[in-house]
Amino acid sequence: MRTRFIVARCGEDTALVEVERPASSELFSRIEHARVLAGAVKCRYVVAPNIDVGIASQLAAVAMDHRDASCIVVEGRYSHVSFILNPDPLVLHVLDIVPPFPSKLLDQVQRVLDMAEGLPPVVVVPRLIDSRSQLTDTCDPLPTQVLVPCRGSGIEFEGTTVSYLDERPPIAEWTLLGCERSHQIHHWFYGSSPPTVDICPKRFLGGGDDKDAAGHILTRCCLLQEGVEERPRATFVPWGSSLVEVRTAIEAIVRRVGVTWTPT
In this structure, the strands spanning 229-230 and 235-238 are antiparallel
pLDDT tens digit sequence for 94-139: 999 999 999 999 999 999 999 999 999 999 999 999 999 999 999 9
pLDDT tens digit sequence for 159-173: 899 999 999 999 999
DSSP classification of residue 105: H
Given pLDDT bands bounded at 50, 70 and 90, which one contains residue 143? very high
Asked which of 26-30, 71-75, 182-186 is least confident by mean pLDDT, the reply is 26-30
pLDDT tens digit sequence for 82-96: 999 999 999 999 999
Given pLDDT bands bounded at 50, 70 and 90, which one contains residue 263? confident
- Could you give the strand order of the β-sheet that contains 161-164, starting from the edge strand earlier in sequence? 161-164, 145-148, 175-178, 196-198
Examine the pLDDT at 210 and tell me if it is beyond 80: no
Given pLDDT bands bounded at 50, 70 and 90, which one contains residue 148? very high
**What is the model's pLDDT at position 28?**
87
Given pLDDT bands bounded at 50, 70 and 90, which one contains residue 208? low
**What is the model's pLDDT at position 152?**
78
DSSP classification of residue 143: P
Q: What is the mean pLDDT of residues 230-258?
A: 95
pTM: 0.91
Examine the pLDDT at 27 and tell me if it is beyond 90: no
Examine the pLDDT at 2 and tell me if it is beyond 80: no
Examine the pLDDT at 237 and tell me if it is beyond 80: yes
Examine the pLDDT at 260 and tell me if it is beyond 90: no
In this structure, the strands spanning 33-38 and 13-20 are antiparallel
More confident residue, 152 or 79: 79
CA 194 to each of CA 142, 167, 229: distance values in angstroms, whole numbers, following the listed order: 15, 17, 29
The per-residue pLDDT of the chain, averaged, comes to 93
Question: Which residue spans within 171-212 are E strands per DSSP?
Answer: 175-178, 196-198
More confident residue, 151 or 126: 126
Q: What's phi and psi for 220, nearest 5 deg? A: -120, 155
CA distance 57 to 25: 34
Examine the pLDDT at 184 and tell me if it is beyond 80: yes
CA distance 79 to 97: 38
**What is the model's pLDDT at position 215?**
61
More confident residue, 69 or 232: 69
Q: Alpha-carbon torsion 108, 48, 119, 219, what sign?
A: positive
**What is the model's pLDDT at position 34?**
96
Given pLDDT bands bounded at 50, 70 and 90, which one contains residue 235? very high
